[in-house]
Amino acid sequence: MKKHRGIKMFYLIVMLIFLYAPILTLMVLSFNASKSRSRWGGFTLDWYISLVEDGGIISAFKTTLIIAFLSALIATVLGTAACIGMQTMRRKLRRLILAITNIPMLNADIVTGVSLMLLFIAARMTMGFRTVLLAHITFNIPYVILSVMPRFRQLNRNTYEAALDLGASPLYAFFRITLPDLMPAILSGFLMSFTMSLDDFIITHFTKGAGFDTLSTKIYSEVKKGIKPEIYALSTLMFVTVLLLLWLVNYHPWTRRKNDGSRKKYRSVPGIAAVLVTIICATGLLSGCGSSAAADYNNPNSLFIYNAGEYIDPDLLTEFEEETGINVVYDEFETLEIMYPKVESGAARYDLICPSDYMIEKMRKNDLLKPINIDNIPNLQNIGESYWETARSFDPDNTYAVPYCWGTVGILYNKTMVDEPVDSWSILWDEKYKDQILMQDSVRDAMMVALKLLGYSANTTNEKELREATELLEKQKPLVQAYVVDQVRDKMIGNEAALGVIYSGEAIFTKRENPDLDYVVPKEGSNIWLDCWVMPKNATHVENAEKFLDFLSRPDIAYRNFDYITYSTPNTAARELIPDEDIKNSNIAFPDLTKMNGLETYSFLGEKEDRYLNSLWREVKAY
Amino acid sequence: MPVKLIDLQHITKRYDDNTVLDDFSLYIRENEFVTLLGPSGCGKTTTLRIIGGFERPDSGTVLFQDKDITDLPPNKRELNTVFQKYALFPHMTIADNIAFGLRIHKKSNDYIKDKISYALKLVNLEGYENRMPDSLSGGQQQRIAIARAIVNEPKVLLLDEPLGALDLKLRQDMQYELIRLKNELGITFVYVTHDQEEALTMSDTIVVMNQGYIQQIGTPTDIYNEPQNAFVADFIGDSNIVSGIMIRDKLVEILGARFDCVDTGFGENRPVDVVIRPEDIDLVKPEEGTIEGVVTDVIFKGVHYEMCVMSNGFEWIVHSTDCFPVDTHVGIHVDPFDIQIMHKPESEDEKAVAVDE
Amino acid sequence: MNKKSRLLSGPYLIWSIGFIIIPLFIILFEAFTGENGQFTLQYVADITWFVNLKSLGLSLVFSLISTAVCLLLAYPLAMILAEFGKGRSSITVLVFILPMWMNSLLRTIAWQNLLERHGVINGFLSALHLPSLYIINKPPAIVLGMVYDFLPFMVLPIYNAISRIDRDVINAARDLGANGVKTLFSVIWPMSLPGVISGITMVFVPSLTTFVISDILGGGKILLIGNIIEQMFTQDSDWHAGSGLSIVLMIFIVISMIIEEKYDTAPSTGSKKERRKK
């Protein structure tokens, strides 16, 4: 059997490369000073530093540990107790229980996650720490039972009986004789639960609520925005930790010494690993209790904000907290379509949300909004009258919405990759740019592009026109590199694509980063949008919200925010503060609307029409 | 004179730092029932696995009918093995198990069918064709394993402690079964066991091994009656092994008393080991014995009594049909031809004693 | 242990009814009722919509391919590991399942890095003046992601099954004249079948239902049935339709479970790692 040793070694090595190449890549990139993935820009530890400084990731990490530890612990207790109880049950009943236990293990995670989400919604539970913990316990218990149950079968009943025979009470005999015998299995069940909980994404994704992230969900939302090098640093740290743990468990002297036959090794390994896990979690708990425990909506001195990704200068939040002593819980949504059901179902509660025009109309029509008392917010006078007027298209009496940012949708293109002048949406259908085009992964924006090109209104509900637009988008699909949201920005900066559909606010920032880029609003017309702050009906921190809006509308604050997010501000006083004349009069940031044709704000089309649009969009995206 | 069928020459086998066989040589003649006997770790199973082709020796050669088969894989060797834990294919029926080797050798279906029923008859398991291995008892599985091996008509059948996992009664039955099979088939058996009774019952020749060396080769009678060293004496049956001094030919001093014996040629005043079987000691009146002692313990063993007799600081084990109660003063008498004199081993290495008959 | 100890199962029993049984019934309820609470088969029948059917078909094709590729890669690997692992510590095996302990999202993201237009692999290729590899956002990238993510779940059960085979059973086959190939197909393969089946379900089910891998490596251009269900819940908040498709998905999972049950003669306890899910 020693034959072909060379071939076998070769195969092992090839597989090792396959398994480790991605991980090693992440590790190398975590030290790469250049943001580009294909260029080595020198060694740096900056990403590690900014990782530690990024409170979001660190607190998500702590939450993950806490959830994993608590859920594994509770699952271990419940599962072990269940196993003990099942010993005296009739065979049929026991088999039934074991069959039920198998369900979460064999079922698809997505179904488990969705079913638990429906349960929590039906039970009117607020999504958050509690629901995620319950979900994790649910999928952890089976691992404990499947680990402990077989051990019972191997158990020598005689030792327990011998203990009774020697005068021990059943309870004493259980704790002194049976339990120690079960311990290795219990510990390995605990460890398995712990790792499963650490790694879970899908079930957490469906059961988590606002302001709550485990590492997995945090990574997922970060990826949607574009991969940050901090993520590489995090991967490296995680891998090294795992490596270290395994080395400790397998090779460290004080785990090895036990291996002298008096105690079997398998007894000590899970035990020591469990101790290590406990220590890590304990330090996590001690050092970081604050962040996750704070997300309690009932705390009167807090303010819950739900905003799009990277849509505010985080320093301003801290400044506001310092100025007012109000604790801000800030949460980001990926798209409005994802935000809406969360708010509608009441599964997540907020005081201020920043949706766009058509969504505000929808929320207003569905009676989800609370009027904002403008008299309590003196700084709102800084908002230009024209913007209030735009807002009246979806909020007729200016009762609900406070303008925050506005802009257009257009094409961002790389001047070195596109030769001809860009002035029409039709360039996005040009075969020349196959795999060089980035489209917005959002129904309304994608549809708008096609509808405008066809000469229809972006707000049409005419089935024939929508059908036509869908077919146009399907025709375009082979040319599209990817449908993305926030990633358009990073990909365009990194020269990953030649053309991308993007919001005007991003254009200023991307031009700053990569001078080869330029932005244009096509001649067929486009969407002009206005994002406003609104207060959901069930908001309770009204006063805090008013204070926050007043703070944001202060000219100096609004200016700083503009400088950070680069989205056009409706705050005329703030615009005056812009020192750079080019930007102050920029055609991108503050275009002269009178000179542009066919600009439309989106209006709310209706539930049924929305779903119809969504199904058309899925038709485009399905391969 | 039968020819050498298998010839192991200067075999050495190491596992890491542990030398299992050291310059080991042994030949096996045709039609012989050879048993490799020794305690666990003595190298007997390794020897068998080298013959079977499952291990390669680090050095030395294996000849089969004078052809070198050292590097030949097991599937090309004309011998078959019966494994310790049967090693039946659990996913195949009994018939498929037995037919496995025949199908590989592309025998016709009729031939295979005949062979299966013949083999099952031979091992007294007719009608078991369609059973699965795990529905059979240990003894039955073992017989199937034997059937699976013998249908291929090997020149040699290698058996690796095949009865080790069976209970006593079954083991005795299977011993007779194996002897019957050997006589019916007329093929060579190489049998590995640590059970001396099994070896004495079945073998034509016994090879006693310890720590990778051959201690003694001989017929069961030779091995039992004339062990060549203390190890063999101790390993085969109960023995009283006591240090003594060979005063001169035919006279040995043990525990201060002088016994007549029949051995010669050990020189004068040489230290030796003396072996006396428990059943060869006669307990007599104190004044009639060569040496005196006191009975310290008596156990009834059914056929005989086993007694411990203390004399001059040595505890004799004595088997006798007469019972002497505890604390009885007795005399010990041994007939000269029941005293077996052995050299004291001079060094560890002197344990390998190649003996030709 | 006396009868009273039965009560210890109580909490778990209540838990499993509350968090396993009832949620499943909610899904069933949502799937078979309309907006006004009337009984309807409409939502389950939604699967026949072209888009849904196409996604389901795509999911089936991708998961079957990735399961097959996993099996082809894992079987020899498991055999070699079982052989090398003999007598040595299981450190070699550990090395091969170590990546499993990395967060699965991070591992998938790693592939995005490797495969992108200006990613690591193309960086290497262009440095060597070779044509660039462009599979990101295309089916091969998704299959690759599935194979990479779920390979350990195939390797482990097969490795466990093979290393449980009594060495002497293999020796017996050799002894009876079987050569290496014959031994593999007539003895090792059938005896490792429970491990293979268990590996297949453990790769097939998560590949069939994933939405993460297609999300990260598909560039939004490929919707699997998992994506459709996910979007119905998180974007459309159309729970009836989402539940209806979930029920359809569960039918496939149940089928694969039945197949597994049929072959898996070993008690379901197995090795702990063998049962790791996802």
pLDDT at A267 over 50: no
Tell whether C37 is covered by a domain.
Answer: no
CB distance B204 to B219 below 8 Å: yes
Window 214-233 of C, Cβ < 8 Å to A: 216, 219-223, 226, 228-231, 233
Q: What residues in C contact B91, CB-CB < 8 Å?
A: 190-191, 193
Residue A447, pLDDT score: 94
Regarding whether C23 and C128 lie in a shared domain, the answer is no
Domains belonging to chain B, first-starting first, are 4-225 (3.40.50.300), 230-351 (2.40.50.140)
Separation CA A519–CA A503 (nearest Å): 9
Q: What residues in A contact C276, CB-CB < 8 Å?
A: 192, 196
Tell whether A254 is covered by a domain.
Answer: no
Regarding whether A125 and A234 lie in a shared domain, the answer is yes
Regarding whether C181 and C119 lie in a shared domain, the answer is yes
Contact C191 B105 (CB under 8 A): no
User: Within chain A, how many helices (H) and strands (E) appear?
Assistant: 27, 11
> What radius of gyration do chain A's Cα atoms show?
29
Interchain contact A308–C (C-beta under 8 A)? no
Matching residue, tokens 């055999």: C79
Regarding whether A174 and A81 lie in a shared domain, the answer is yes
Q: Please indicate whether residue A126 or residue A250 has the higher confidence score (pLDDT).
A: A126
Separation CA B144–CA B138 (nearest Å): 10
The mean pLDDT value for A265-282 works out to 59
Separation CA A602–CA A508 (nearest Å): 23
The mean pLDDT value for A201-213 works out to 85
Tell whether A235 is covered by a domain.
Answer: yes
Contact A110 C209 (CB under 8 A): yes
User: Token digits for C256?
Assistant: 């694969």
The H or E element containing residue A558 is helix A555-565
Residue A281, pLDDT score: 63
Nearest by CB to C237, which of A104, A135, A341? A341
Q: Tell me, what DSSP letter sits at residue B207?
A: E
Regarding whether A540 and A524 lie in a shared domain, the answer is no
From A136-145, A154-163, A523-532, the region with the lowest mean pLDDT: A154-163
Pairing of strands B79-82, B156-160: parallel
Residue B346, pLDDT score: 59
Q: Tell me, what DSSP letter sits at residue B122?
A: H
Per-residue exposure over C115-148, b if at least 16 CB sit within 10 Å of its own CB, e if not:
bbbbbbbbbeeeeeeeeebeebbbbebbbbbbbb
CB distance A225 to A357 below 8 Å: no
pLDDT at A607 over 90: no
Residue B332, pLDDT score: 92
Contact C15 A141 (CB under 8 A): yes
Contact B100 C186 (CB under 8 A): yes
Instruction: Kindly report the nearest CA distance between residue C98 and chain A, in angstroms.
Output: 8
Residue type, A302: S
Total structural domains within chain A: 3
Nearest residue of chain C to residue A341 (CA atoms): C237
Regarding whether C25 and C103 lie in a shared domain, the answer is no
Regarding whether A481 and A380 lie in a shared domain, the answer is no
Tell whether C107 is covered by a domain.
Answer: yes
Regarding whether C213 and C113 lie in a shared domain, the answer is yes
Tell whether A87 is covered by a domain.
Answer: yes
Interchain contact A250–C (C-beta under 8 A)? yes
The Cα angle at residue A531 between residues A604 and A561, in degrees rounded to 5 = 170
Nearest by CB to A622, which of C13, C223, C277? C223
Cα distances from A112 to residues A138, B21, C12, C58, in angstroms, run: 10, 60, 17, 22
Regarding whether C155 and C24 lie in a shared domain, the answer is no
The mean pLDDT value for B64-81 works out to 91
Q: What residues in B contact C172, CB-CB < 8 Å?
A: 81, 83, 87-89, 145, 148
What DSSP string runs through A2-54?
-TTHHHHHHHHHHHHHHHHHHHHHHHHHTTBSSSSSSS---B--HHHHHHHH-
Tell whether C141 is covered by a domain.
Answer: yes
Chains near B with 3+ CB pairs less than 8 A apart are C
Contact A87 C1 (CB under 8 A): yes
Tell whether A586 is covered by a domain.
Answer: no
Q: Which CATH number characterizes residue A311's domain?
A: 3.40.190.10
Final residue before a domain boundary, out of A241, A266, A291:
A241
Regarding whether C4 and C79 lie in a shared domain, the answer is no
Contact A81 C226 (CB under 8 A): no
Contact C122 A1 (CB under 8 A): no
Instruction: Kindly report the nearest CA distance between residue A433 and chain C, in angstroms.
Output: 14
Interchain contact A50–C (C-beta under 8 A)? no
Q: Give the structural domain span for A341.
A: 302-404+531-579
Contact C171 B87 (CB under 8 A): yes
Tell whether A308 is covered by a domain.
Answer: yes
Nearest by CB to B104, which of C166, C182, C193? C182
Instruction: Kindly report the nearest CA distance between residue C173 and chain B, in angstroms.
Output: 8
Interchain contact C171–B (C-beta under 8 A)? yes
Regarding whether A218 and A235 lie in a shared domain, the answer is yes
Q: Tell me, what DSSP letter sits at residue A331?
A: E
Residue type, B224: Y
Regarding whether A449 and A387 lie in a shared domain, the answer is no
Regarding whether C213 and C162 lie in a shared domain, the answer is yes
SS3 A437: strand
CB pairs under 8 A between A and C: 317
Regarding whether A318 and A217 lie in a shared domain, the answer is no
Q: How many CB atoms lie within 10 A of CB A353?
A: 29
CB distance C110 to A25 below 8 Å: yes
Model confidence pLDDT, tens digit, residues A434-488? 989 999 988 899 999 999 999 999 999 999 999 999 999 999 999 999 998 878 8
Q: Please indicate whether residue B52 or residue A341 has the higher confidence score (pLDDT).
A: B52
Interchain contact A37–C (C-beta under 8 A)? yes
Window 360-399 of A, Cβ < 8 Å to C: none
ipTM for the whole complex:
0.89
Model confidence pLDDT, tens digit, residues A362-405? 999 999 999 999 889 999 999 998 899 889 989 999 999 999 99
From A108-122, A499-513, B231-245, C259-273, the region with the lowest mean pLDDT: C259-273
Window 49-108 of C, Cβ < 8 Å to A: 50-51, 54-55, 58, 73, 76-77, 80-81, 83-84, 89, 91-92, 94-96, 98-99, 101-107
From A254-263, A300-309, B139-148, the region with the lowest mean pLDDT: A254-263
Indicate the pLDDT class of residue A278, thresholds 50, 70 and 90.
low
Q: Tell me, what DSSP letter sits at residue A178?
A: I
Residue A270, pLDDT score: 56
Q: How many CB atoms lie within 10 A of CB A221?
A: 18
Separation CA A48–CA A40 (nearest Å): 17
Tell whether A13 is covered by a domain.
Answer: no
The H or E element containing residue B189 is strand B188-193
Question: Residue B69 phi/psi, 5° resolution?
Answer: -115, 15
Indicate the pLDDT class of residue A263, thresholds 50, 70 and 90.
very low
Residue C90, pLDDT score: 66
Regarding whether A538 and A425 lie in a shared domain, the answer is no
Total structural domains within chain C: 2
Interchain contact A242–C (C-beta under 8 A)? yes
Pick the closest to residue A439 from A415, A406, A409, A465 (CA basis).
Answer: A409
Interchain contact A36–C (C-beta under 8 A)? yes
Contact B90 C174 (CB under 8 A): no
pLDDT at A257 over 50: no
Cα distances from C144 to residues A608, C75, C77, C135, C138, in angstroms, run: 38, 17, 18, 10, 10
Nearest residue of chain B to residue C174 (CA atoms): B75
Contact B89 C191 (CB under 8 A): yes
Model confidence pLDDT, tens digit, residues A547-602? 999 999 999 999 999 988 889 999 999 999 988 888 888 888 888 877 788 889 99
Classify A263 in phi/psi space as left (phi over 0), alpha (psi -120 to 50) or beta. beta
Q: Please indicate whether residue B6 or residue B168 has the higher confidence score (pLDDT).
A: B6
Matching residue, tokens 């009656």: B225
Contact A102 C2 (CB under 8 A): no
Separation CA A398–CA A391 (nearest Å): 7
Q: What percent of chain A has pLDDT over 70?
A: 91
Q: Which CATH number characterizes residue C92's domain?
A: 1.10.3720.10
Question: Residue B295 phi/psi, 5° resolution?
Answer: -70, 125
Regarding whether C70 and C177 lie in a shared domain, the answer is yes
Regarding whether C245 and C190 lie in a shared domain, the answer is yes
Window 71-90 of C, Cβ < 8 Å to B: none
Tell whether C72 is covered by a domain.
Answer: yes
From A163-172, A608-617, B277-286, C184-193, the region with the lowest mean pLDDT: A163-172
What DSSP string runs through chain C?
--GGGGGGGHHHHHHHIIIIIHHHHHHHHHHHB-TTS-B-SHHHHGGGSHHHHHHHHHHHHHHHHHHHHHHHHHHHHHHHHHHHHTTS-THHHHHHHGGGGS-HHHHHHHHHHHHSTTSHHHHHHHHTTPPPP--TTSHHHHHHHHHHHHHHHHHHHHHHHHHHS-HHHHHHHHHTT--HHHHIIIIIHHHHHHHHHHHHHHHHHHHHH-SHHHHHHHTTS---HHHHHHHHHHTS--HHHHHHHHHHHHHHHHHHHHHHHHH--S-TT--TGGG---
Separation CA C19–CA A436 (nearest Å): 47
Q: What residues in C contact B101, CB-CB < 8 Å?
A: 176-177
Q: How many CB atoms lie within 10 A of CB A323?
A: 10
Tell whether C255 is covered by a domain.
Answer: yes
Interchain contact A101–C (C-beta under 8 A)? yes
Nearest by CB to A246, which of C94, C209, C272? C94
CB pairs under 8 A between B and C: 67
Regarding whether A450 and A398 lie in a shared domain, the answer is no
User: Token digits for A356?
Assistant: 């766009």
Window 258-287 of A, Cβ < 8 Å to C: none
Residue B349, pLDDT score: 45
Q: What residues in A contact C30, CB-CB < 8 Å?
A: 118
Question: Residue A316 phi/psi, 5° resolution?
Answer: -65, -35
Tell whether C66 is covered by a domain.
Answer: yes
Regarding whether C162 and C126 lie in a shared domain, the answer is yes
pLDDT at B348 over 70: no
Tell whether C39 is covered by a domain.
Answer: no
CB distance A519 to A502 below 8 Å: yes
What DSSP string runs through B218-284?
E-HHHHHHS-SSHHHHHHSS--EEEEEEEEETTEEEETTEEEE-----S-SSEEEEEEE-GGGEEEE
Regarding whether C246 and C143 lie in a shared domain, the answer is yes
Residue A20, pLDDT score: 92
Residue type, A484: V
Residue C271, pLDDT score: 36
Tell whether A543 is covered by a domain.
Answer: yes
pLDDT less than 50: residues of chain C: 1, 266-278
Residue A261, pLDDT score: 40
Residue A266, pLDDT score: 43
Regarding whether A439 and A360 lie in a shared domain, the answer is no
Regarding whether A395 and A411 lie in a shared domain, the answer is no
The Cα angle at residue A591 between residues A587 and A592, in degrees rounded to 5 = 120
Q: What residues in A contact C139, CB-CB < 8 Å?
A: 623
Q: Give the structural domain span for C24.
A: 1-32
**Beta bridge mates, A531:** A356, A405
Residue A498 CA, distance from chain mean position:
27
Tell whether A283 is covered by a domain.
Answer: no
Pairing of strands B188-193, B33-37: parallel
Nearest residue of chain B to residue C170 (CA atoms): B87
Sign of the Cα pseudo-torsion (C190, C191, C195, C197, in order): positive
Regarding whether C69 and C28 lie in a shared domain, the answer is no
User: Looking only at Cα atoms, what is the longest distance across chain C?
Assistant: 76
CB distance B246 to B266 below 8 Å: yes
**Beta bridge mates, B258:** B253
Pick the closest to residue C253 from A114, A103, A100 (CA basis).
Answer: A103
Q: Which CATH number characterizes residue A89's domain?
A: 1.10.3720.10
Q: What percent of chain B has pLDDT over 90?
A: 41
Tell whether C38 is covered by a domain.
Answer: no
